[in-house]
Amino acid sequence: MNLTLRLLSSELTCPASEAMQYTNVNFLLSRPSVRVSCFVKKDDMRVCHRDGRNTMISCQLMHSHLEESYKRKRRIQVPMQKPDFVRTLLIDNYDSYTYNIYQELSIVNGVPPVVIRNDDWTWEELCHYLYEENAFDNIVISPGPGSPACPEDIGICLQLLLKCWDIPVLGVCLGHQALGYVHGAQVVHAAEPIHGRLSEVEHNGCQLFHDIPSGRNSGFKVVRYHSLVIDSESLPEELIPIAWTSSTSTLPFFGSKDCDKYNAHEIQTEQGIFIDPLLAQVGNGSSNLSDYGKTRSARVLMGIMHSTRPHYGVQFHPESVATCHGSQIFKNFREITDDYWLRFRSSYNKENHANSDACMQVSSASRLYREVHRSINSENSAVDQLKKIVHGDRHLVYNKAEMKWLEMFNMVNSHHASTGYKCLKLKWRKFGHLAGQIGGAKNIFCGLFGHEAENTFWLDSSSTEKGRARFSFMGGKGGPLWKQLTFRLSDHSDGFSKGGGYLSMEDSQGSAKTIFLEEGFLDFLNKELKSYHYDKNDYEGLPFDFNGGYVGYIGYNLKVECGVTSNRHKSKTPDACFFFADNLVAIDHKNDDVYLLAIREESSSMTQWLDDAEEKLLSLNGSVRMDLERQDSRPLTFSSRKAGFTAEKPREQYIEDVKKCLKYIKDGESYELCLTTQIRKPIEELNSLGLYLHLRERNPAPYAAWLNFSKQDLCICCSSPERFLQLDRNDMLEAKPIKGTIARGATEEEDEQLKLTLQLSEKDQAENLMIVDLLRNDLGRVCDPGSVHVPHLMDVESYATVHTMVSTIRGKKRSDVSAVDCVKAAFPGGSMTGAPKLRSMELLDSLENCSRGIYSGCIGFFSYNQTFDLNIVIRTVIIHEGEASIGAGGAIVALSNPEDEYEEMLLKTKAPLKAVEHFE
């Protein structure tokens, strides 16, 4: 049964006694034995299966818990004026949009919020910060997968909404549903799942929607990501509906227009500590609440507020890039917070005055809060430090705790390189307008590196039209700093390993050793890059950011080093392979220039390789290219797709898995799932470089790549059109996700029609928008507040076989995070996972029957000066130990058709598969 939760009148008075302290309440809903009601139907039960177990759940929230009136410590008083900043606790329900809220609040509040996961703190720790340290002015509860009825999905948030009646709270999406659920409303399946789609919203003019228009054609369009809704018929009296939309009305992204503001009608509320001031200002005509009551079966609740508590919820996502007036909602919530505490303190000061000790404590808390936010990185270490203080130093006076925190922070962030500092020097030579004269990038690579293609690399911008890419980099085994790193995760076939693995290192002299990395490969790479010292003047004048360093790939399974708890499938290929390239050639396709670069330790000579490479470069002509073409023309062992390649999943199984994805989406477990599979073929002898040259000719791409790791019997022929992430020398991060694909037309007219069809497709717009918001979140974790932006949204780009929908997200990297920190915050690329990312990857691991291996990972470089550029590994042939494999997949959203998804998956194999077929 559901309980309608009522507030006792005693709970509505301001705490005024210094002797009042909170009592610990221990009904942690995360325990498996706790049973709470579900959302499917009013009379039905639901199975929660996050951990693979089937658990029947029903509601037994006891009155003894809900009506418990525990005493709280008095809120510290400050002078009665609005502060310069507002301190927010942002609770993350394991969502992939939380840091979009973080970015918005950082600007609106004047200081970034503290972010914790919904299971990071115990109830006692939360109360300590709220009522003893007075560290926060308000709370925001994030969106997230699942249902508020599932303990693992909502964590501590239900307790917070029940007990923290005297602190302003804003719940977004799942947080909104939790606000309704905890007060007795039922959360049920929506008539239709809505993800990444826009709707017009009508509201009642309360303070949360102050200065925001309302209704049809007003310009107030919001992005929705939800499969579940609050059942309006079950809404208790203490919860007031404040916003709603049509249950079936959605709008395309393109063509939206803002209109004049809408003056809302009056709404009646109970009187208590909290009064929304705008509700008393909106005239006394017919209320929207009354109108809503007459038609609510045809409407969906988009917002609620508590009648006597400063608690609000919105079902839509104000932080989405496509939501209109989203920032205004967060500004209004800050105003609500400021006004609430002014009224609270005014009421208190009628009876008592704040003492000087209290003011000193607030000052100390504020200083600590600012120090916290200077140190937050992608691993949220500041919160970890705060938790250590809570566990070990609560007996200390506050200034001692602050000193201890700062001491710990400095210790954690002190530099500790793995192999000591290395001082590197760069020398380079430029040959203006030379590339075209000597046959272009293909001829240069084949002439300098192609005769002995073992242990070579080529980051190949083979498609440069419309400014998609500009530079190519190539090289091979060379100078004294050259080495190869090969990393394999420890055996995790049982699905429980969380990282660590074996790193094999081979230097230029052939000396090799293997070590175990307990903290994993990315931690090792981070320490390596931090160990390099360099002079920025060395690369002054170079137009590109790769000046030497690591070139290679990161496999999909390294997601376990980026927040995922386990891998179900072990990769056949190494999980990461990199060369340290100390000699390389760079080509500027825009200006047709060629560069030779060499890096050495400070005391070493580096002119010999530059001299030799220059001599070879200037002697190149068309003969190398012709010899290679004749060599590559010999027949190979590939046969046709039907006779040769075998799919990991037959058509029927893939379609069935798409249906399972749709079920997960309907139940609110995910907004979007990028389901993939692989096709494979045994091979005998193969000129893999010849295959790559054939692939780049048939399907040129801006982020193509050739990698040859001869000791691992591994060649990668990649024609990727998608950038994962780039960091340039100005600390600007850029991601360019692709979501939405359609085949090219047979005629120019048909081709343009198909391109327009893609651009106007609501399904493809939804796919793209969800991943754009996900990448904004990932960049928001490591970028300066307010710097993340989307200069290009849903542009259509055309390639040899497909049109694709591409967006661009950029942000300014924070000074306290490293290049590898940025990668860890965003890997794997959201376009290959779906959203929310962590839950989606868990679900995909359960559906996919083999490891993705290198596919869905990234290829590129980490320069010794901490710039990087990485692609997404798609449209790629992997040749490993006598087998060729091609991965492909597609994003499953609520609007997906299973048969169409299977055909789209096949379309994405077309370019690499055709290259193999024709290279016989």
- Contacts for 903 with CB less than 8 Å, ≥ 6 apart: none
For residue 601, the cross-strand partners are 424
Question: For 506, how many CA atoms within 13 A lie in the half-sphere containing its CB?
Answer: 15
Tally Cβ neighbours within 10 Å of residue 524.
20
What are the structure tokens assigned to 620, written together? 């190149």
Tokens standing for 390?
A: 């809570």
Cis amide leading into 650 (omega within 30): no
Structure tokens at 834: 């779906």
Which pair of tokens denotes residue 98?
Answer: 């939380």
Q: Which residue has the tokens 């990727």?
A: 720
Torsion-angle region of residue 75: left (phi > 0), alpha (psi -120 to 50) or beta? beta
In eight-state DSSP terms, residue 418 is S
For residue 864, give the amino acid letter.
Y
Backbone angles phi, psi at 457, to 5 degrees: -140, 155
Question: CA 585 to CA 474: how far, in whole Å?
Answer: 5
Q: Is 662 helix (H, G, I), strand (E, B) or coil?
A: helix
Question: Strand pairing of 221-230 and 187-200?
Answer: antiparallel
> What is the Cα–Cα distance from 267 to 256, expressed in whole angstroms?
29
CB burial string 804-843: b at 16+ within 10 A, e below: bbbbbbbbbbbeebbbbbbbbbbbbbbbbbbbbbbbbbbb
Write down the residue that tokens 């717009």 correspond to: 765
* Helix (H), strand (E) at residue 808: strand 802-812
CA distance 451 to 637: 22
**Beta partners for residue 54, in sequence order:** none
The two tokens of residue 497 are 């390993």
What tokens appear for 145 in the block? 């997968």
Per the DSSP assignment, residues forming a β-bridge with 677 are 888
Strands 583-588 and 471-476: antiparallel
* Cβ-contact 182, 162 below 8 angstroms: yes
Tell me which residues are annotated as active site.
173, 317, 319
**660 contacts: CB under 8 Å, gap ≥ 6:** 847
